[in-house]
Amino acid sequence: MTGDQPSKDGATGTAGQPEKRTGPEPRLVGTGIFSATVKDTIVTTVLAIILALLIGAVLIAISNSDVLDALGYFGVYPWDTFTRAGDAIWVSYTSLLKGSIGSLDAIQATLAKSAPLICAGLGVALAFKAGLFNIGAQGQIIAGALAAGYVGFTWTSLPIGLHLLVSVVAGVVAGGIYGGIAGVLKARTGAHEVITTIMLNHVAGFALAYALAREIYQVTGSDERVSPPVADSATYPSLLGVHSGVVVALLAAMLVWWILERSTLGFELKAVGANPDAAQTAGMNVAKVYTVAMLLAGAFAGLAATMQINGDQAQISDTLIGTIGFDAITVALLGRGSPLGTVLAGLLFGALQVGGVSMQASTASTPPELALVLQSLIVLFVAAPAVVRHLVRLRDEKQDSTFAAKGLSA
């Protein structure tokens, strides 16, 4: 698990920066970053989605009770099996589409679901660029949620705009500090960030449970493990029916793009991610870069927490965060570490999760777990363009071993 050598496919080409792909590239890549032209990227991603949907179709068919009934007399009248399977697949996928982007309501739901995924995904992607595998988004989100929520439902005497601002900043700072712990430990003691972030996730989970069992995080006079709702003055104002946190998420993506492509810090991040020894020799403070990278990653995860907390008068509970922190890892990977890619991947996953619910509600009553299977299959195929090409017999234009960069850095 070393990231101590430059990756083999050294290139910075990301979907967001196609014009930089002319001439030989500087060997500056974080880990897990894609090196392909925009056209390639789009083609493989679309094919990956199609392949995933095909496998999903098989799962829909075998999970449908009508189809299973028809299979019972397959020898007598096989046609029934196929028509019923076709029906189930058609109903499931159309309700997936309708439920996620078919109406204004659906689009609003998708956007709201995507916003935290995008923010947390940006944090994971940023750490990736520095060669750090941040599994800790979940814990960082919880830390952010506890802080943003506390400010959100207690400091109600603050004026409207300020209350929101203070609450969001509290979430971002708390997430940043929590992420920073892993960074400092890595920089000071060399403790592997994979271990520390895993442990910090567990610790955060128990801290959340602890907080919810205390009076200050409970509705007065109630013993339920649910916090009071965040005050009106601390919620993101509504914009065209969606909370404006979505806009903040997009701004965050632009900020990450600026950090990575235009700032000295971004250059240092990528240099350390590509080869920490070389970066050290070149005079960069690798320990500082690790710390800052994890601080920033945590801050974006904290911002993701505010999407949940300040989005819609949320009450903190042990289910509010769900698995956003882990989904964020797949979002960052599908987005190939680029800000634009992360936004698109976040939107796709948000749509799949929202659509998954309406798939269950449809007449085919397809289990919503299918959405999770689809998500992982899509990322799997996107990560392996060679598989996609092999399966659809595309001409192998050039041997780009996607993501051939090394994974974990010690």
Partner 1 sequence: MSISADSTELRTAPDAPRVRDRADLRRQVKLVVLFAIAAVILLLFALSIDEPTVRYSLSDVYDPSQNHDANGRAVVWVTFALAAAAMLGSLLNVIPKGWPTALVSVVVGLGFYVGLTFWYFADQPGDLASSFVVTNPLPQAVNYATPLVLGALAGVLCERAGVINIAIEAQLLAGAFFASVASSMAFSSAAGLLGGILAGVAFAALLGVFALKYQVNQVVLGVVLIALALGLTDFLLGQIPSSGENKDLNQLLSAPVTMEKVPLGALADIPILGSALFNQTVLVYIMYVSVILVWFLLYHTTWGLRVRAVGEHPKAADTVGIRVNRVRWSAVLLGGVFAGLGGVFFTVGSTGAFTNNASNGAGFMALAAVIMGRWHPVGATCAALFFGLMLTTQDQFGVMTKFPTELLGAAPYLATLIAVAGVIGRVRPPAADGEPYVKG
Binding site for partner 1 (CB under 8 A): 1-2, 31-32, 59, 62-63, 133, 135, 185, 188-192, 194-196, 198-200, 202-203, 205-207, 209-210, 213, 326, 329-330, 333, 367, 369-370, 372-373, 375-377, 379-380, 383-384, 386-387, 390, 401-408, 410
CB of 208 to partner 1, least distance (A): 8
Distances (CA, A) of 220 to 154, 317, 319: 12, 15, 20
Alpha carbons 54 and 316: distance in angstroms, whole number:
38
Task: Return the number of the residue (273 or 311) whose C-beta is nearest partner 1.
Answer: 273
Taking the C-alpha atoms of 122, 124, 130 and 132 in order, what is their torsion angle to the nearest 10 degrees? Answer: 180
CB of 214 to partner 1, least distance (A): 9
Task: Return the number of the residue (235 or 409) whose C-beta is nearest partner 1.
Answer: 409
Helix, strand, coil distribution of the chain in percent, nearest 5: 70, 0, 30
CB of 252 to partner 1, least distance (A): 22
CB of 377 to partner 1, least distance (A): 7
The two three-digit tokens of residue 86, written as one number? 């076709």
Alpha carbons 354 and 347: distance in angstroms, whole number:
11
Task: Return the number of the residue (52 or 256) whose C-beta is nearest partner 1.
Answer: 52
Contact 326, 138 (CB under 8 A): yes
Task: Return the number of the residue (6 or 229) whose C-beta is nearest partner 1.
Answer: 6
Burial pattern 91-126, b for ≥16 Cβ within 10 A else e, equals: bbbbbbeebbbeeeebbbbbbbbbbbbbbbbbbbbb
CB of 376 to partner 1, least distance (A): 4
Task: Return the number of the residue (102 or 322) whose C-beta is nearest partner 1.
Answer: 322
Task: Return the number of the residue (134 or 235) whose C-beta is nearest partner 1.
Answer: 134
The two three-digit tokens of residue 187, written as one number? 């920089």
CB of 250 to partner 1, least distance (A): 25
**Secondary structure string (H, E, C) spanning 151-196:** HHHHCCCCCHHHHHHHHHHHHHHHHHHHHHHHHHHHHHHCCCHHHH
CB of 350 to partner 1, least distance (A): 16
Alpha carbons 342 and 53: distance in angstroms, whole number:
21
Alpha carbons 401 and 5: distance in angstroms, whole number:
17
Task: Return the number of the residue (81 or 330) whose C-beta is nearest partner 1.
Answer: 330
Q: Residue 315: left (phi > 0), alpha (psi -120 to 50), or beta?
A: beta
Task: Return the number of the residue (166 or 212) whose C-beta is nearest partner 1.
Answer: 212
CB of 379 to partner 1, least distance (A): 5
